[in-house]
Amino acid sequence: MSETPSVPFPDKWARASGTPIVEAYHTAIRAIVAERAAAAGKSWNDAVHDRSLQLTREDFEKVEADLLATGYRFEMSAVVSAQEAPEKYKPVAERHDSGAQEADEQGRPIVGTGDNVFKAPADVEGVARFVSTVERVMDMLTEGVPADTIAVIDDSGGTLTAPILGDFTAVICMGGTVRSHLGILTREYGVPCLMAAELDGLAEGDRVTVEYGKPAADAYANAETAAAQRARVIKLS
């Protein structure tokens, strides 16, 4: 694809695209717009309101055809999460375990913290089960979600686990915020949920208690207050 002509357009992308396909589309579309604006002798402010310069269906079809002609094929959008935050997608055995977890008031190891989506009537005790593959979701969908399951999921979990979300005892999500789609869904289902969780030493099958009885996290709190508000995940066995 041709390089973007040198025209006074602002740079609207502060970081690299998540996947090659997104970068290719951005580059191609910017090139088309820049070429037309340069040919018309227009600045960005003038070009953006000029309907004669707008992109057409034919433009998008050509961009797609040029991309496919290189041999590249489309990727699932979910791969973006894995590329931006690979630590969250490591196998359970490879997840971070510092071996130096702090202890709670009873001397039990604190194996994670997170932002509480809503205040539950009480803290929840259950078994941590990592649900991060379609295969595991299908198993739980056909065989049933085991009792006392506190599902540990990544930041694409709202879509992946939608068919069984209401059957979880609770959720711990390693991405997002309390205002994320998953936070909204769990609140509607009444399933206690922590978002933006940071885990240290939590493993598949661990029995834990999670402080879902804590007040909901304030999405607008400063860093110090937000840290103090985070609910704890405490390992029991």
Residue range 114-154, pLDDT digits in tens: 999 999 999 999 999 999 888 899 999 999 999 999 999 98
In this prediction, residue 98 carries a pLDDT of 84
Check whether 75 has a pLDDT greater than 60: no
Does 216 or 71 have the greater pLDDT score? 216
Average pLDDT over residues 28-55: 84
The answer on pLDDT for 11 being more than 80 is no
User: For the residues 1-6, what does the mean pLDDT come to?
Assistant: 40
pLDDT of residue 83: 64
pLDDT the model gives residue 2:
40
Answer yes or no: are the C-beta atoms of 34 and 12 closer than 8 Å: no
Separation of alpha carbons 27 and 83, rounded Å: 20
- In this prediction, residue 69 has a pLDDT band, given cuts at 50, 70 and 90, of confident
Confidence of residue 99 (pLDDT cuts 50, 70, 90): confident
Residue scoring higher pLDDT (207 or 154)? 207
Residue 34 has pLDDT above 50, yes or no: yes
| Domains of the chain by residue range | 20-75, 85-235
85-235: CATH homologous superfamily? Phosphohistidine domain (3.50.30.10)
**pLDDT (average), residues 90-112:** 81
Which residue intervals of the chain are DSSP H helices?
A: 20-40, 44-47, 57-69, 79-84, 134-143, 157-160, 181-189, 223-229
- For the chain, give the percent of residues with pLDDT over 70: 80
Position 57 scores a pLDDT of 92
CA 183 to chain centre: 12
